A and B are shown apart, each in its own frame.
Chain A
């Protein structure tokens, strides 16, 4: 019994001692994985969501606030993706370091976003003024984010700047080689057409030259109308879409429904790191995504 208490106390002490120079709070698994690539064990990392969660909405847990209070750097997508919970979490933590400035790193602010509305019209529905935030499936944007993030890490933790530079150089080389490999593998997909669940694949599709011909739920959270669905069955068939794409966290029912009526296969892509068994790292995420798309297109 005494031993048990000692072990418990030791664990508490270990857990509360800041052994790392920086404490990083990543909102999504893809940015957590990127921090892992760029900093390794030099930082303490905690990731707020998993691939099987809808990052638009997460449940409040006390540990999230506790981790946010400790954070020196926030790595998130931005562009309103986390608007439903991140501002409240930062406010609740009272941690001024990550509220604005160097401690708040938003991936979408490092690249140009797609689907940026030319004019803001509220009646158009769920428009994001900063564009589509799901940038993690374009390797070029991921590399741009990686370079900016590495510089930010070195700024905040100059003592480890050499290590960060070594790691970003290594990552860039491997990533560019992998990108060439993925592009070669996916070359057959160019010009093919897909239907999507939500419009969360624009960057992947733009990169691979795949055309999106329809979306099951164009307005998130609002069930599609019957006119929209019958039009979509027609488009899926007439445009010869080769697949219906959904993310691992999304409900399979709508895409299965469309698949059953059109004979076009619905495929589940990992969408982010941890979305399937193969997607254990950023490299695995792209390997799995490309493999599944190519397999469906055969």
Chain B
């Protein structure tokens, strides 16, 4: 037990970062789950990282803000490709996403073979650490989240095709650097999965509730148990999702599951 870390000055920025990530990821996650393209966030994050490595290969400074634009541009390009394949070969979308993921990941390794300076940045892009978040760094993310939420609310029913992929690419590029790939994946999928039996705004509310409970519980347990925060939150998110199944509104028996007929 360790009570030192239980300090709002330490956990506050991390908690705010988590809430910002949840704000866009809970609605986007429902789309991801509905489309059955679970690993798209890993693929987009990897493409963004590949863009950063490519930019360094061409001599752009790794610490400049232009790197952020390169990352976003690469992610958008990847999103455009996936949006096109979604229309062209919808039945193969999931394997195509998987292929894009491994191509982007190994493409980075091939580029880095002659340029190892990018390796640190690649890691930063993929395993952002939620505790290192500072208040000033959250300001641009808050603005971006506001814009993305506005667009999501505006498109609402028509959040598909290029719109979905583009919004998703921008949201992922920002959130992965903030909290890391594991937390992004969990924030997208776990609340959506836990509320799969629900619809509309009750589902959104339940998803946000599970997400917030998971982040707060995770940050507090990581402080008290002295364990890495990102990994801890992934587990408390899953715990919150399971606990939510005790609420009758969240849990709904799927009518499609019919018992096997005896011979």
Contacts and interface: CB of A to CB of B under 8 A. Distances in A.
Whether A and B are associated in the same complex: the answer reads: yes
Interface of A: 12, 15-16, 57, 59-63, 65-67, 69-70, 84-85, 88-89, 91-92, 94, 122-123, 125-126, 219-223, 225
B177 to A, nearest CB: 13
B31 interface: no
B243 to A, nearest CB: 23
B229 A92 contact: no
B228 A92 contact: no
Nearest to B13: A92
B223 A220 contact: no
17 contacts: A60-B131, A60-B132, A60-B229, A60-B230, A62-B7, A62-B226, A63-B2, A63-B5, A65-B5, A66-B2, A66-B4, A67-B4, A122-B117, A125-B116, A125-B117, A126-B117, A219-B116
B115 to A, nearest CB: 8
Contact of A65 (B10, B109, B113, B119): B10
Nearest to B4: A66
Nearest to A126: B116
A92 B4 contact: no
A169 to B, nearest CB: 35
Interface string B103-116: 00000010011011
B113 A61 contact: no
Interface footprint category on B: 20 to 34
Interface of B: 2-7, 9-11, 109, 112-113, 115-117, 119-120, 123, 129-132, 134, 219, 222-223, 226-231
A222 B5 contact: no
Top 9 A-B pairs ranked by shortest CB distance?
A62-B5, A60-B131, A66-B4, A59-B228, A62-B223, A221-B119, A219-B116, A60-B129, A88-B132
A15 B131 contact: no
Contact of A220 (B115, B116, B132): B116
Given A65-B10, A122-B117, A223 B109 contact: yes
A126 B5 CA distance: 34
Contact of A221 (B5, B116, B219, B231): B116
B130 A63 contact: no
Given A84-B120, A94-B9, A61 B132 contact: no
A61 B229 contact: yes
Nearest to B130: A60
Interface-central residue, A89, A122, A126, A221, by most chain B CB under 10 Å:
A221
